[in-house]
Amino acid sequence: MWRVIKSVLAAFFGVQKESRRHEDFSRGRASHFIIAGILMGGVLVLLIALVASLAAR
Amino acid sequence: MRMRLVWTAGLVACSGLSGSVLANGWNMPVGVTDVSREIHSLHMTIFWICVVIGVVVFGAMFYSLFRYRRSRGAKAANFHEHTTVEVIWTLIPILILVAMAIPATATLKTMYDTSEADLDVMVTGQQWRWRYDYLGEDVAFTSNLATARSQVSGESAKQENYLLEVDEPLVLPVDRKVRLLMTSDDVIHSWWVPDLAVKQDAVPGFVNENWVRINEPGIYRGQCAELCGRDHAFMPVVVKAVEPERFDAWLAERKEAAAQEAMGVDREWELDELMERGEQVYGTICASCHQPDGSGSPPAFPALAGNQAILDDPDYHIDTVVNGVSGSAMPAFRSTLNPVELAAVITYERNAWGNETGEAIQPAEIAELLDEQ
Ligand SMILES: [Cu+2]
């Protein structure tokens, strides 16, 4: 779980260690990454909306 | 030693060049409002950040190209990834972007805060002029290009404010917050005055808001900044900023004149009066297409001098001017001109350049027609 979250965060940032990438591709399940990616994408949008509404205050 | 000299010369040349570019009006103006100053300083800050980034990035690139060239025996490194370096070169741009976004957002917030204005002016784009309504003050007028067509065609010398002068400027008070409500009657225009840092689209069916608080009296010029048809280049903006007391006096005077004009609709006008007024209207609005001597440029623009179709049929003449001719370049003038101006210009066309009907078209007649339609 935590490993999946960390990998998705690394993908958001755009940088990932080669060794971790290997690990993800050999041990992880694609569906986990996809679901985590969609959920965290939603969280990112909400966060940005929150920052924007705070700034507009 | 030689190298140092080349570098110094290069640097001096660059800074000299950028200095002269900034001083010669190539840069955006500092402007005369607090917002325009803020925008200018943001622009300069971001510009210098870009310069530093450019120098560092290209400097590193050229240095490496030069220092590690093959003729000196340099060998290519063959590593694949370096997570730390990648993290650093991702983080630095993020930090720079956020550092630029914070002051920029603060400025944007001020720019969009149109609340608590002392004065509301409706700005309406029309092909090809601007109309200004001082809301709640019963003062409204159109602002037309004042540059003579002969300067455009090259028959006379271009004057100083070529294509940047109007018959009636938008008069605004300094030190007061003025809200500008922008819209359009036909196509999209854009009201742009660099010194006020306002460039706002005027879109038919929408009202966009903007505001200015001008710090210094003066004349500020701008243009329509959205390609809007044939005479896009011929609808300049001129803002005349005056002290608040002078503005109040001007507004009172204009209100008085507007009231006079409204009364003028009801009374009977003499032919001479109408002719005088009509000549003025014709010169600013109609002459660009129909020519000052009414000869037009057939077949595109019909001649009005000796035109039997309009001379024999006053109703047809009035209808053409009031409602335009759809599908042609002839605009409808019902919302651009008031009844007195309409009556005057029609009367003028019926009695100028050898047209001698002797008829005076009365403003009251036009007003009645406008009410009916
Ligand atoms: Cu325009």
Residues B123 and B42 placed together within one structural domain of the fold: no
The whole-angstrom separation of Cα A1 and Cα B305 is 87
Å between B35 CA and nearest CA of chain A: 17
The model's pLDDT over B36-55, given as tens digits with 9 standing for 90+, comes to 999 999 999 999 999 999 99
Q: Decide: B186 and B220 in contact? Cβ < 8 Å.
A: no
The whole-angstrom separation of Cα A7 and Cα A20 is 8
Name the domain boundary from B94, B112, B130: B112
Number of domains in chain A: 1
Residues B133 and B11 placed together within one structural domain of the fold: no
Residues B89 and B126 placed together within one structural domain of the fold: no
The model's pLDDT over B196-215, given as tens digits with 9 standing for 90+, comes to 999 999 999 999 999 999 99
Residues B133 and B256 placed together within one structural domain of the fold: yes
Give residue B8's pLDDT. 65
The model's pLDDT over B262-289, given as tens digits with 9 standing for 90+, comes to 777 778 888 888 898 899 899 888 888 8
Q: Does B83 touch chain A (CB under 8 A)?
A: yes
**Which residues of A are less than 8 Å from B105 in CB distance?**
55
Question: Which residues of A lie inside 8 Å of B (Cβ-Cβ)?
Answer: 13-18, 55-56
- Put simply, the answer to whether B90 touches A13 (Cβ < 8 Å) is yes
Q: From the CA of B229, how far away is ligand 1's center (Å)?
A: 7
Name the domain boundary from B67, B92, B112: B112
Classify each residue of B183-208 as buried b or exposed e, where b means 16 or more C-beta atoms within 10 Å of its C-beta. Answer: bbbebebbbbbbbbbbebbbbeeeeb
Q: Decide: B177 and B118 in contact? Cβ < 8 Å.
A: yes
Residues B137 and B240 placed together within one structural domain of the fold: yes
**Which residues of B are less than 8 Å from A15 in CB distance?**
83, 86-87, 90
- Confidence bin at B178 (pLDDT 50/70/90): very high
Q: Across the interface, which of A14, A55, A56 has its CB nearest the CB of B90?
A: A14
Give residue B17's pLDDT. 61
Q: Which domain holds residue B250?
A: 119-261
Residues B134 and B104 placed together within one structural domain of the fold: no
Is B6 a residue whose pLDDT tops 80? Answer: no
Residues B150 and B210 placed together within one structural domain of the fold: yes
Q: Across the interface, which of B86, B105, B109 has its CB nearest the CB of A15?
A: B86
CATH number at residue B326: 1.10.760.10
The model's pLDDT over A2-49, given as tens digits with 9 standing for 90+, comes to 889 999 999 999 888 888 888 888 887 889 999 999 999 999 999 999
Match 């090809």 to its residue by tokens: B128
CATH number at residue B141: 2.60.40.420
- Which phi and psi angles does B155 have, rounded to 5°? -75, -25
Q: From the CA of B189, how far away is ligand 1's center (Å)?
A: 4
**What percentage of chain B has pLDDT greater than the value 70?**
94
Residues B292 and B315 placed together within one structural domain of the fold: yes
Q: From the CA of B10, how far away is ligand 1's center (Å)?
A: 44
ipTM: 0.81
Residues B140 and B242 placed together within one structural domain of the fold: yes
**Which residues of A are less than 8 Å from B80 in CB distance?**
18
Match 């009005």 to its residue by tokens: B304
Is B137 a residue whose pLDDT tops 90? Answer: no
Residues B101 and B123 placed together within one structural domain of the fold: no
Give residue B11's pLDDT. 63
Q: Does B86 touch chain A (CB under 8 A)?
A: yes
Name the domain boundary from B261, B294, B312: B261
Q: Decide: B355 and B311 in contact? Cβ < 8 Å.
A: yes
Number of domains in chain B: 3
Is B348 a residue whose pLDDT tops 70? Answer: yes
Residues B253 and B306 placed together within one structural domain of the fold: no
The whole-angstrom separation of Cα B209 and Cα B113 is 9
Q: Across the interface, which of B83, B105, B109 has its CB nearest the CB of A17?
A: B83
**Which tokens hold the place of B41?**
């300083």
Give residue B79's pLDDT. 79
CATH number at residue B104: 1.10.287.90
Mean pLDDT of chain B: 88
Residues B162 and B91 placed together within one structural domain of the fold: no
Is B1 a residue whose pLDDT tops 60? Answer: no
**B220: which strand partners?**
B239
Give residue B300's pLDDT. 84
- Which phi and psi angles does B254 have, rounded to 5°? -65, -35
Q: Which domain holds residue A22?
A: 2-55
Q: Parallel, antiparallel, or unpaired for β B170-173 and B237-242?
A: parallel
